Structure 1
Amino acid sequence: MQILQFLSYFLIVSQFFHFSHADVGTAAQYSPPYLPTACYGDDQSQFPSSNLFAAAGDGIWDNGASCGRQYLVRCISASQPGTCAPDQTIQVKIVDYAPTALSSSSAQSATIVLSETAFGAVANIAVDSINIEFQQ
């Protein structure tokens, strides 16, 4: 009976804690031209119509396995206060590998390099990089 009480208590208390499954990293932005890409070459149809896409940095590239993956991305902070768009989360598709992308990134060694449209959806585009929370 004590075990049942303990389990009941544990389940009730655990409801008050939020466990996040997201990772934290950095995001930069890159500009056109976006083709060709490491994932799909010159195929224009690779880009979502929303233009919310990204290039994977070394940390998530996974030898190309990240191509086509979808990530939820949210700006959590930046060097300049007020940079992040409040309560804004976007979904991006990985279409390229950042170190070999035709256009250079606004910041080196970013976890994810967002298209101009994607970066502008979560942050002020005047900054080079932001801290993000991201989840596949």
Structure 2
Amino acid sequence: MNRSQPQLQWLFLKLFLVSLFFHFHTSYGDVGTAAQYSSPYFPTACYGSDASNFPSGNFFAAAGDGIWDNGAACGRQYFVRCINDSTPDACNQNQTILITIVDYMGQPPFAHSTYNTTMVLSNTAFETIANSSTASSYINIEFER
């Protein structure tokens, strides 16, 4: 019986390590692109002309096809941060914001050039995570629900 005791201990140790791995596994979210859009922000695909559903602080976005989910994205919140790309100093480092989806990019006023982006951020949201001196109208982002 003493021979099986070390095997049981090994088994429990393996199970413990596997459970630790799943417990502390870090998710970095998805990667995409973001553009910015200016007011007027109304009407929206999610809330029409009702501004009461917009988040305070003006951290909101319009969803691209990849996250729109046939309208189920309305009201979803995402943590978003700018990640460096080929444009030097495009990002304000260590800035992560929480945005709310309030619109869909598949309808006006969005330009055709924004259709391939993951989301179009309000000016306030875009300027918080992107360096104001960047000449780029698009940034690479990491986002997570």
Q: Same fold (TM over 0.5)?
A: yes
Does 2:15 correspond to 1:4? no
Runs of 4+ in 1 over 4 A off after TM superposition: 8-12
- In the other structure, the counterpart of 1:24 is 31
- In the other structure, the counterpart of 1:120 is 127
CA RMSD of the aligned region, Å? 2.2
Does 2:130 correspond to 1:129? no
- In the other structure, the counterpart of 2:3 is none
- In the other structure, the counterpart of 1:44 is 51
Provide the rounded CA distance (Å) in 2 between the counterparts of 1:102 and 1:50.
22
- In the other structure, the counterpart of 2:90 is 83
Question: Which amino acid in structure 2 is aligned with residue 68 of structure 1?
Answer: G
Q: Given the alignment, which residue of 47, 68, 71 partners 2:75?
A: 68
Give 5+ residue unaligned stretches, structure 2.
1-7
Counterpart secondary structure, 2:102: strand
**TM-score, structure 1 length as denominator?**
0.86
CA offset at residue 10 of structure 1?
4.7
**Contact 2:29-2:144 at 8 Å conserved across structures:** yes
Q: 1:64 to 1:8 in 2, by over 3 A?
A: closer
Q: 1:32 to 1:105 in 2, by over 3 A?
A: farther
Question: Which amino acid in structure 2 is aligned with residue 3 of structure 1?
Answer: L
